[in-house]
Structure 1
Amino acid sequence: MPEHQYDVVVIGAGPSGEGAAMNAAKNGKRVAIIEDKQMVGGNCTHLGTIPSKALRHSVKQIITFNTNQMFRDIGEPRWFSFPRVLASAQKVIGKQVKLRTQFYARNRIDLFNGKARFVDANRVEVSSRQASETLHAKTIVVATGSRPYLPPDVNFRHHRIYNSDTILNLSHTPRTLIIYGAGVIGSEYASIFAGLGVKVDLINPGSRLLSFLDDEISDALSYHLRNNGVLVRHNEEYEAVDGDEHGVVLSLKSGKKIRADAFLWCNGRTGNTDKLNLENVGLEANSRGQLAVDEHYRTQVPHIYAVGDVIGWPSLASAAYDQGRAAASDIVHDDYFRYVSDVPTGIYTIPEISSVGQTERELTEAKVPYEVGQAFFKDLARAQITGEAVGMLKILFHRETREILGIHCFGDQAAEIVHIGQAIMNQEGEANSLNYFINTTFNYPTMAEAYRVAALNGLNRIF
């Protein structure tokens, strides 16, 4: 079996693996990356972020056509099948794969396709249908990502029972759908299917939607999901999921039974570590398949790093890429290492949500004297022009120093808008202040102008 010598071997070609491999290669290291799928990009490109957001964009266009009076004069409302809408997402996936494959070639990173397993602390075996090869490395980065957690008492082989990966194989549009799990993925798919005219039951084992969000934003999401025909059921846990030829029956521990054409499981994820032979290097994953790391992304074996979903929080593609770059910075000892903690939340429901910093509940519990500045999109000229009048921007700031403490946004382009506030929050000293938004001229009409409106609104609350 041939053995290849490298400075760094990265296991997994998703966002975190790509970030680690690129940064190490740019710093002169000889790098190899291992990917068990035929194409690079990881779950982000093929099963998660890219397809679901491309789906969402297409559904938003359908909603606009069906609700805008200008289009109503052209023709009757149109409904599109899930497979037809999914086909548009495939074009985006192809472009992403081409782009990322070129990255590896341009930076002379060797790409190995196959399943990776540790032989010992410095050697990784790559097995494919064609052959097995061994890669020897001074440093190894585990970036294997995660997959949906699948409880053993649910038959995911049934043709009407799906998880958040297999839903992309759905070949028809169900009239009714049960989604179990009201986290980020469940809420996003509830929006997508509701936009396609599907009647959705969203089952939430918790007491409120996305409890990590600011309460006002969470409440707004609940309202708009319900307004779009989603029935949200809180504090419910499944007893059994039974599929037959005509649909699926969900039995809940509360005694309720719900029937639908299809069932989608979106409750929890598991790190992809079970086939790495971690015992050969003295590592052990937790019950969720995740690896523990220190503030430099090192595992208990110092020259083996772990990044991305496989280490847990925050399980976002944006953070994963930065974690990978940070691990490589630690390996090459450059000046750019940072522990990724300042992570904005981007949730692509319809309308979308984004936030950064502290929530009102957190500030209240910490007894911080904060104040609130609000701007409602219905009052913004740009939102009135585009017809995207649902939503708001909320700035939380210290009422004495005017330091920005949190930015919370709900509505069209929220994930873009939040970064303006994030940039100011990251400034030092007095530069992080509500005054910036009051004393800065914004283009008009824009969505960014919401910061000026919200800042003036907040200023009026100070006495």
Structure 2
Amino acid sequence: MEHYDLIVIGSGPAGRRAAIQAAKFGRSVLVVERGRRVGGVSVHTGTIPSKTLRETVLNLTGWRERGFYGRSYRVKQDISADDLMARLHKTLDHEVEVLEHQFARNKVDTIRGEARFVDTHVIEVLGEAGDVQAFKAARYVITVGTRPFRPDYVPFDGEFVVDSDEILELKELPRSIAVVGAGVIGVEYASIFSALDVHVTLVEPRNSMLDFLDKELVADFTHQLRDRGIALRFGAKVEKIEKHGPADCEITLEGGRCVRSNVILFAAGRMGATPSLNLDACGLEVDHRGRLRVDPVTFQTSVPHIYAAGDVIGFPSLASTSMEQGRIAACQALGEKAYDPPEYFPYGIYAVPEISTVGMTEEEIKERGIPYECGVARFRETSRGHIMGLETGMLKMIFSLKTRRLLGCHIVGEGATELVHIGQAVLNLRGTLEYFVENTFNYPTLAEAYKIAALDAWNRMPPMET
């Protein structure tokens, strides 16, 4: 039986960072991946594929140029599923090659197969051919990620009724699609298909969506979706989903209302990919969604030498945060110096348009009783916005009246996930309104919106005490 200092189960963002960090400490590391290639859900069915699909759609449809040339403008008139997949496969191959090279360069061993615990220190790996190998490790990091939630009442067929993994395998573009679930994944795919001029209906049992975001931001985003013709069906539970025939699906909502479409995407949550791990053998338990509980600072589970990171531990379930969680977990597991996770990190939603946020929302600031003022800038107020033909998009900043520090930064619009890092830096460095007012921003840029929003807030704030 081979013995390792650390075994990492799963090779997604958290797993790869944990493994490489441990290897840089000179420890022996094994990564177990049950997929056909390394990379996990992030590379093969989640983060990279959906973002590549989004970029392909925006390029081929000419979406970014329609502000100038009209809604009928197209770069390619007849876009097929094959057009979308060509760029996707090229991107995924590159991602896998980079990851394989990183593992090889850092002398990280990898094995393909399904891992299951035999006891607290030993796992068995079941290979594709049915062969079984046993491995022992002093420490473990579990980074198995998640899989789509697939309730029994949904007649999944992989073609017309699909989950968020199967949506990438559509053989042709539908004329209409109904998306069940207005979480991050559902909203991203709904807006991407809308950009392809597919008729979209978004179904959500709650009365709102993306509740963790600033409400003003969500209101602006919701207006943009409705303005593009996306039908929003909020506050109605799904009672039944039926497939009457090829490209003929129906959703029956509470109250009797029906939604018909060619394809149904069911994106109402994900489950921790933990059932096959045989966690009972190592003394771990999961919640109702198959997720592991960990210490929020060290990522240690209830079993001292087993750590977990990434989507399998729940919110925020971002590739970016998962990477940092994996690194910290490896450091903690091996007794090396580790930094605490940052209090504020950017949250990116790659819808059309993008949404990104960092810090506190206006609602959270009100709950804490902090006196504040907001500053808002519209992208159309910037010269760069005019050059790009932007008609929508906004940046909102919230400042403390007492300290003038930045408390939150919220952006919806083109380039939001890139722009947010300016706000992130100022927020984590405890910067104030004066940074934005007194510093020079490149002109013309969308980043100039920071100065416009800061001046908007400054105009309504009392002078700084000297």
TM class by shorter-chain length? over 0.9
**Matched residue of 1:456: which SS?**
helix
Whether 1:296 aligns to 2:294 is no
What is the aligned partner in structure 2 of residue 350 from structure 1?
Answer: 352
Within-5 A mapping of 1:153-192 = 153-157=153-157, 159-192=159-192
Q: CA deviation at 1:457?
A: 1.1
Q: How does 1:4-403 map to 2 (within 5 A)?
A: 4-61=2-59, 62-64=61-63, 67=66, 69=68, 78-130=77-129, 131-157=131-157, 159-246=159-246, 247-294=248-295, 295-339=297-341, 341-403=343-405
Whether the 8 Å CA contact 2:139–2:334 is kept in 1: the answer is: no
Deviations 1:184-217 (A, max 9, x none): 1111101111111111110011111211111111
**Percent identical:** 41
Q: Secondary structure at the match of 1:275?
A: helix
Letter in 2 for 1:152: D
> SS state of the match for residue 121, structure 1?
coil
Question: Per the alignment, do residues 298 and 65 of structure 1 end up closer, same or farther by CA in structure 2, a change over 3 Å counting?
Answer: closer
Separation in structure 1 between the aligned mates of residue 260 and residue 455 of structure 2, nearest angstrom: 50
- 8 Å contact 2:355–2:411 — kept in the other structure? yes
Q: Which amino acid aligns with 1:447?
A: L
Instruction: Give 1:84 deviation, angstroms.
Output: 1.9
How far is the alpha carbon of 1:303 from its aligned partner?
Answer: 0.1
Q: Which residue identity is paired with 1:386?
A: M
User: Distance between the aligned counterparts of 2:30 and 2:75, measured in 1?
Assistant: 54
1:75 CA drift (Å) = 7.9
Residues in 2 aligned to 1:266 and 1:77: alpha-carbon distance in whole angstroms: 29
* Deviation digits for residues 201-242 of structure 1 (CA, Å, limit 9, x no counterpart): 100111112111111110111111111121001111111111
Could you tell me which runs of 5 or more consecutive residues in structure 2 were left unpaired when the two chains were aligned: none
SS at match of 1:193: helix
CA offset digits 1:245-268 (Å, max 9, x no partner): 231111112211111111000101
Shift of the alpha carbon at 1:81? 2.2
Query: Counterparts of 1:192 and 1:208 in 2: how far apart (Å)?
Result: 20
Task: Find the residue that maps to 2:348 and give its secondary structure.
Answer: strand
Separation in structure 2 between the aligned mates of residue 347 and residue 74 of structure 1, nearest angstrom:
26
Matched, 1:457 2:456: yes
The Cα RMSD (Å) is: 1.8
Distance of 2:72 and 2:145 partners within structure 1: 48
Q: In 2 relative to 1, CA 126–180 (structure 1 residues): closer, same or farther, beyond 3 Å?
A: same
Say if 1:43 and 1:145, in contact at 8 Å, map to a contact too: yes
Give the secondary-structure state (helix, strand or coil) at the position aligned to 1:7.
strand
In the alignment, the residues of structure 2 paired with residue 106 and residue 152 of structure 1 have an alpha-carbon distance, to the nearest angstrom, of 45
Q: Determine the C-alpha separation between the residues in 2 that align with 1:185 and 1:214.
A: 18
Contact 2:11 2:32 survives alignment (8 Å): yes
Return the alpha-carbon distance in structure 2 between the equivalents of residues 161 and 72 of structure 1.
Answer: 30
Specify the code of the residue in structure 2 equivalent to 1:11: I
Give, in angstroms, the shift of residue 134 of structure 1.
Answer: 1.0
Distance 1:340 1:304, change over 3 A: farther
Letter matched to residue 150 of structure 1:
R
Partner SS state of residue 316, structure 2: coil
Q: TM-score, normalised by structure 2?
A: 0.95
Q: Go from structure 1 to structure 2 and tell me whether the alpha carbon gap of 1:77 and 1:6 turns closer, same or farther (over 3 Å shift).
A: closer
- The Cα offsets for residues 304-327 of structure 1, whole Å up to 9 and x where unpaired, read as 001111111111111111100010
Match of 1:57, SS? helix
Change in Cα spacing, 1:124 to 1:283, as seen in structure 2 (3 Å) is: same
The Cα of 1:59 is off from its aligned counterpart by 1.6
Q: Shift of residue 437 of structure 1?
A: 0.9
**TM-aligned CA deviation for residue 117 of structure 1:** 0.3
1:337 aligned partner, one-letter code = Y
Q: Distance in 2 between matches of 1:346 and 1:123?
A: 38
Q: Secondary structure at the match of 1:120?
A: coil
Instruction: Give the TM-score of the pair, scaled to structure 1.
Output: 0.95
2:181, 2:276 → 1: CA distance?
A: 27
- Matched residues in 2 for 1:89 and 1:236: separation? 35
Q: Which runs of 5+ in 1 are unaligned?
A: none
CA–CA distance in structure 2, aligned partners of residues 296 and 18 of structure 1? 18
Give the C-alpha shift of residue 150 in structure 1.
0.6
Contact 1:83 1:170 in 2 (8 A): no
State the secondary structure of the residue aligned to 2:136: strand
Q: How many residues were matched structurally?
A: 458
Cα deviation, residue 94, structure 1: 1.0
User: 2:354 touches 2:413 (CA, 8 Å); kept in 1?
Assistant: yes
**Matches of 2:69 and 2:359, distance apart in 1:** 40
AA of the residue aligned to 2:277: L
Distance (whole Å) between structure 2 residues aligned to residue 335 and residue 185 of structure 1: 35
Distance change >3 Å, CA 225–CA 65, structure 1 → 2: closer
Pairwise CA distance, 1:34: 0.3
- Deviation at residue 361 of structure 1 after TM alignment: 1.3
